[in-house]
Amino acid sequence: MTVLDALDLAGCDDRELGRRAQAGDARARRALIERYLPFARRLALRYRQSAEPLDDLTQVASIGLIKAVDRWEPSMGHAFISYAMPTILGEVRRYFRDATWMVRPPRGLLELGRVVEHARDPLGAALGREPSVADLAEFLDRPAAAVAEAHQAYACRSTRSLDIPVDDSDREPSTVGELVGREDDEYVRVEARTVVERLTRILDQRAREILRLRFEHDLLQSEIAAAVGCSQMQVSRIIRVSLERMSAHASTLEAVLERA
C-alpha cells in the first residue's frame, strides 16, 4: 500500500471501508483491521489478570477483529464497533473455553462444570456457607454424582506443581510429588523378565517350553513330562542343565560388561 493509498483510505469512514472490503478491496480490508487493532488490544487487556500471556490474548482478540471485518455488513445499518466488540470478546472467551485446559474434559462435562461454578457463589451467599455437592445438585436439579464429577473436571483447567508443599505449617513439609510417588515393584518384574528372555535364547525350543511350564505356570515335573511327552527324570535334567547354562552365560556377559 502506497502513502497516497493510505491517505486516501484514512479519509474513509468505517462504512466506506467495509463496502470496499466486501467488494474485494484488500487495501480497504487491511485499513479497517489496522484502524481497530488498538481497540482489540484494549479488549484483550480486560483479561490481563488471567494466567494466559497478554501477547496470546492480544493475538486471539486480533483474530476476532479479522472475523468481524470479514462478517460485517455495512448495509445492515449497524456501526462496526458495535458489531466488532461482541465478536472479539466471543473469540477471547472461546479461547478460554477451548484452549486453556491442561486436561480437556468432554464438552458436556465442561458445560456442567461451568454451570456449577457460576452457581457456587450466589448459592453460598444464600446459605451463608460453602455449598456442598448435595446443595448444588438440589439447586441445579442435577444428579449429585454428575455435579461432583463436573466439579472435579473443572479443576483440570490448571495443574499444581509436584514441588508445592502440602502443609505450610510443618517445618519440613512434604511435597505433592513425595506423597504421590511410590516404589513400583512391577519395574523390577519387567526388568527380570527381560533378562530371563535374553538368557533363554541360548536354549532350544524344548528347554524353553519346559522352563516356561515350570516357572511361569508352576506345573509339577510329572505334569510337565506328560505335557511334553518325556519322562520326569528327563524334565528334571533339562531344568538343571538349562539353569546352569543360563547362569554361566549371565556370568560371561557380566564379565564382558565390566571390562567394557
Higher pLDDT, 185 or 87: 87
pLDDT tops 70 at residue 34? yes
pLDDT, average across residues 235-246: 93
Last residue of one domain, picked from the residues 180, 211, 244: 180
What is the pLDDT confidence band of residue 242, given thresholds at 50, 70 and 90?
A: very high
Last residue of one domain, picked from the residues 49, 82, 99: 99
pLDDT, average across residues 146-175: 71
Give, in order, the Cα–Cα distances in Å from 110 to each of 134, 153, 157. Answer: 19, 7, 10
User: Are 209 and 170 members of one domain?
Assistant: no
User: Are 125 and 158 members of one domain?
Assistant: yes
What is the pLDDT confidence band of residue 171, given thresholds at 50, 70 and 90?
A: low
Cell (9 digits) for 52: 494466559
Higher pLDDT, 154 or 189: 189
Instruction: Give CA–CA dist 183/122, Å, rounded.
Output: 45
User: Are 78 and 15 members of one domain?
Assistant: yes
Q: Which pLDDT does position 59 carry in this prediction?
A: 94
pLDDT, average across residues 94-111: 73
92 within domain boundaries: yes
61 within domain boundaries: yes
188 within domain boundaries: no
How far from each other are the two terminal CA atoms of the chain, in whole angstroms? Answer: 69
Instruction: Give CA–CA dist 144/135, Å, rounded.
Output: 9
User: Are 44 and 92 members of one domain?
Assistant: yes
194 within domain boundaries: no
187 within domain boundaries: no
User: Are 83 and 51 members of one domain?
Assistant: yes
71 within domain boundaries: yes
User: Are 116 and 162 members of one domain?
Assistant: yes
Q: Which domain holds residue 254?
A: 203-259
User: Are 82 and 133 members of one domain?
Assistant: no
Q: Which pLDDT does position 243 carry in this prediction?
A: 92
Query: In total, how many domains does the chain have?
Result: 3
Element (H, E) at 107: helix 107-127
pLDDT tops 50 at residue 5? yes
pLDDT tens digits, one per residue of 180-197: 666 777 788 888 888 888
Instruction: Give CA–CA dist 12/1, Å, rounded.
Output: 15
User: Are 117 and 93 members of one domain?
Assistant: no
The count of residues in the chain is 260
* 168-195 per-residue burial string, b: 16 or more CB within 10 A, e: under 16: eeeeeeeeeeeeeeeeeeeeeeeeeeee
Q: Which pLDDT does position 4 carry in this prediction?
A: 40
Which residue do the cell numbers 454428575 mark?
A: 146
Total Cβ atoms within 10 A of residue 216 = 10
User: Are 7 and 65 members of one domain?
Assistant: yes
Please check whether residue 246 is in contact with residue 199, taking contact to mean a CB–CB distance below 8 angstroms. Answer: yes
What is the pLDDT confidence band of residue 244, given thresholds at 50, 70 and 90?
A: very high
136 within domain boundaries: yes
User: Are 95 and 117 members of one domain?
Assistant: no
198 within domain boundaries: no
* Percent of the chain whose predicted confidence (pLDDT) is above 70: 83
User: Are 69 and 124 members of one domain?
Assistant: no
What is the pLDDT confidence band of residue 97, given thresholds at 50, 70 and 90?
A: confident
pLDDT tops 70 at residue 57? yes
pLDDT, average across residues 105-119: 80
pLDDT tops 90 at residue 85? yes
What is the pLDDT confidence band of residue 40, given thresholds at 50, 70 and 90?
A: very high
pLDDT tens digits, one per residue of 204-216: 999 999 999 998 8
Q: What is the mean pLDDT of the chain?
A: 83
pLDDT tops 90 at residue 12? no
- One-letter identity of residue 10: A
Instruction: Give CA–CA dist 40/36, Å, rounded.
Output: 6
Please check whether residue 135 is in contact with residue 123, taking contact to mean a CB–CB distance below 8 angstroms. Answer: yes
User: Are 78 and 12 members of one domain?
Assistant: yes
Specify the CATH number for the domain of residue 11. 1.10.1740.10
Last residue of one domain, picked from the residues 50, 76, 99: 99
Q: Which pLDDT does position 157 carry in this prediction?
A: 65
Specify the CATH number for the domain of residue 227. 1.10.10.10
